[in-house]
Amino acid sequence: MRENMKHVKVASRSVFEVDSSRLAIGTYSRPLLDDEARRFRRTWESEALPGFEDFQVDSKRVSFVTRPDSVTGAWRAIDRVLAETTESVRKAS
For residue 1, what pLDDT is reported? 43
CATH number at residue 24: 3.30.1360.40
pTM recorded for the entire structure:
0.81
Strands 61-66 and 21-28: antiparallel
Which residue, 14, 23, 17, is CA-closest to 66? 23
pLDDT in tens, the chain (93 residues): 444 557 788 999 999 999 999 999 999 999 998 888 888 888 877 876 667 788 888 899 999 999 999 999 889 888 888 888 777 666 665
Structural domain count, the chain: 1
Q: Is 44 left (phi over 0), alpha (psi -120 to 50) or beta?
A: alpha
For residue 46, what pLDDT is reported? 80
Residue-range definition of the domain harbouring residue 59: 3-92
Distance from C-alpha of 49 to C-alpha of 27, rounded to nearest angstrom: 20
For residue 83, what pLDDT is reported? 85
User: 12 and 26 in contact (C-beta within 8 Å)?
Assistant: yes
